[in-house]
Amino acid sequence: MHVPDGMINLPVSAAAGVVAAGAVAVSLRGARRELGAGPLAEGHGAERTAPLAGLVAAFVFAVQMLNFPVGAGTSGHLLGGALAAILVGPYTGVLCIAVVLLMQGILFADGGLTALGVNITVMGVVTVVVSYGIFRGLIRVLPRARRSVTVSAFVGALVSVPASAAAFTLLYAIGGTTDIPIGSVLTAMVGVHVLIGIGEAAITALTVGAVIAVRPDLVHGARGLAAPLKLRVNGQLVDAPTVPVAASTASRSPRGLLAAGLGTALLLAGVVSFYASANPDGLEKVAADKGFDEKADEQAHAAAGSPLADYGIKDISNTRLSGGLAGVIGVGATVVVGSGIFYVVHRRRTTENAPAASSGTHTSAKGA
């Protein structure tokens, strides 16, 4: 659902950019807490938490290259807001999607640069807020079990996609560059994105379930949900003594999961993406059918001259090789940029907390 330049006018695109910038600013502050909390961060620092968040961004980038058919000559791809929010937290999730969209726009000419704020708002902020809100609501009422996490992830992801389509339609109603009946646009956009949402939900639930199966302590949305172990003592069931999560996981490095995740992302982007559906995605199909893609088609992308534009490498005639290498470069660039950003965010939180801790130490010493 990458909105191109020219589809929404500049004033509304600028307003959406302000909203997106505000959301990113708030997320930067919130991500400091998310990246500095939980068993993975305690005692290990940004060398572990930042790569995990960077890997989520790279994985979303890779899976977004895999358009899947949804019927009637239309395809869809993962938006990723629900997946990122559940794995690493909603604030960090918004930043993950923002990084992905920025890399796609600058390196691959995918999604307009003047429409970057629109895309971050629609594909990042809306999907994260809607999916994580539904996810947390369901987690509170469902049994405390791993299956409840995957079910909640499925439902949250499913609803987030048509919600994103509705948000785009609202922006188009305000600043669309083509005069068309907005009701027909809303019906078409929501209808096709409900189908795409099913694919989004399946990918999200399977990925979250796979991570929970091997490292449940790394899933942000599953923290604190494990039911206590019961022991039978003198004929009665009692809670087993608990071991602090930080202690129980201190010796368990996430390197295996990080390596597996990065390898999977590289495989998807470098090999599997060649077999992705060539049909237009939901937005492209509706825009063509309803006739509001003309202004966008007339405007060249600012990054059209990029050597990686359209997910291929210039001067490499072999389509499979060109697309595969472009995908691998995209995954690598996203994980490096994302991890770097999250490392800085985490380190800034550590730096801000240091003076307070130091002050507390001096106070205690003086009182003694």
- pLDDT for residue 55: 96
- pLDDT for residue 234: 66
List Cβ neighbours of 328 (8 Å cut-off, separation of 6 or more): 266, 269, 270
Cβ atoms 45, 252 nearer than 8 A = no
Return d(Cα 193, Cα 284) in angstroms, integer: 12
- pLDDT for residue 83: 98
- pLDDT for residue 63: 97
Cβ atoms 207, 214 nearer than 8 A = no
- pLDDT for residue 347: 80
> How long a stretch of residues is the chain?
368
- pLDDT for residue 45: 44
Q: Which residues of 267-284 are buried (b: 16+ CB within 10 A; e: fewer)?
A: ebbbebbeebbebbbbbb
Q: Does CATH place domain 10-222+256-299+310-354 in 1.10.1760.20?
A: yes
pLDDT digits (tens, 9 = 90+) for 155-187: 999 999 999 999 999 999 999 999 899 999 999
- pLDDT for residue 237: 56
Read off the amino acid at residue 205: A
Q: In a structure prediction context, what are the per-residue pLDDT tens digits for the chain, which is 368 residues long?
A: 899 999 999 999 999 999 999 999 999 999 988 887 555 544 444 456 788 999 999 999 999 999 999 988 999 999 999 999 999 999 999 999 999 999 999 999 999 999 999 999 999 999 999 999 999 999 999 998 889 999 999 999 999 999 999 999 999 999 999 989 999 999 999 999 999 999 999 999 999 999 999 888 889 998 866 544 455 666 665 554 544 444 444 446 788 889 999 999 999 999 999 999 999 999 999 999 999 988 776 667 888 889 999 999 988 999 999 999 999 999 999 999 999 999 998 887 656 655 554 455 544 444 44
Q: H/E/C letters for each residue in 176-233?
A: ECCCCCHHHHHHHHHHHHHHHHHHHHHHHHHHHHHHHHHCHHHCHHHCCCCCCCEEEE
Hey, what are 111's tokens? Answer: 């999604």
Place of tokens 């379930």: 209
Closest CA to 27 of 88, 111, 106, 78: 88
Domain boundaries, the chain: 10-222+256-299+310-354
- pLDDT for residue 348: 73
Cβ atoms 51, 345 nearer than 8 A = no
- pLDDT for residue 365: 44
Q: How far is CA 260 from its chain centroid? A: 18
- pLDDT for residue 2: 94
Q: Which residues of 317-328 are buried (b: 16+ CB within 10 A; e: fewer)?
A: eeeeebbbbbbb
How many other CB atoms are there within 10 angstroms of residue 17's CB atom? 18
